[in-house]
Structures are given as C-alpha cells and as structure tokens.
Amino acid sequence: MSVQRGAIILVDYPYSDRTGSKIRPALVIQSDQLNQTLADTIIVLVSSSKTRFVGAPSQLVVDVTTPDGLQSGLRQRSVVQCENLVTIDQSFVLRTIGRLSPAMMQINNCLKATLGIL
C-alpha cells in the first residue's frame, strides 16, 4: 500500500522499547515521491491522551469539532506529536482514515521545532 503525505493512517505502531505494538493513528510525513519509491515511510504518533499534550511547538492539536478536524478521520480531540518520529514498512499500514487539511498542514513548523531547524 502506497501512502500519501498528510494522510492519517491506522498502523500497528511499535512501542519504543520494542516489546510489542498497538493499533493507533499516525500521520504520514514523508514525501509522496519517497512513499512511491520506498517500502518504508516516516510517520508521527497521534494521541488522544490528555497527558501527551504538553503544548510544545513540536505538537499540533486536531480539534475534531472543526471542519478541518473532521477531515482527519479521528474520533476525538488529538495531538500530533512530531517529537515521536518512526520509520515503518508501509505493510504495517492497516488503512487510511482521513487526512490533514491544507490549513492543518502547518506540521512543517512542528517538524522544524522537533529537529531544531530554523
């Protein structure tokens, strides 16, 4: 399955200690060109846990009560955590549930904050 940048996907997401995984939403951040030519893609974690939201510039809130938030396919207010980057094989993608609207694709600023890019 080839995924597209900005897609919100369901993925078998690995725990950071590699002891297991959990099916959860994630945002595809890798370019479409690389998604078509490579078997892997780069994703960031999406969480609805209130404890995960710390208001950092590396995070983007998705409010599902707004028209832009509805396009995401998420069921509840969530935070895209750009500080939690993972490269996965695209075969771990179960399905696409939505996408970030062009207005919400300010994700580039969050990635710059995560990586310390000016």
User: Would you kindly state where each structural domain of the chain is located, as residue ranges?
Assistant: 7-104
pLDDT at 41: 96
Backbone angles phi, psi at 85, to 5 degrees: -90, 140
Where the chain has pLDDT below 70, the residues are 1
State the DSSP string of 3-35: --TTEEEEEEEEPTTSS-EEEEEEEE-S-HHHH
pLDDT at 116: 92
pLDDT at 49: 81
> What is the domain class of 7-104 according to CATH?
mainly beta
Average pLDDT, the chain: 91
pLDDT at 66: 95
Q: What is the pTM of this model?
A: 0.90
Q: How far apart are CA 38 and CA 35, in angstroms?
A: 6
pLDDT at 75: 95
Residues 6+ away with beta carbon under 8 Å from 92: 11, 12
pLDDT tens-digit profile of 107-118?
Answer: 899 999 999 997
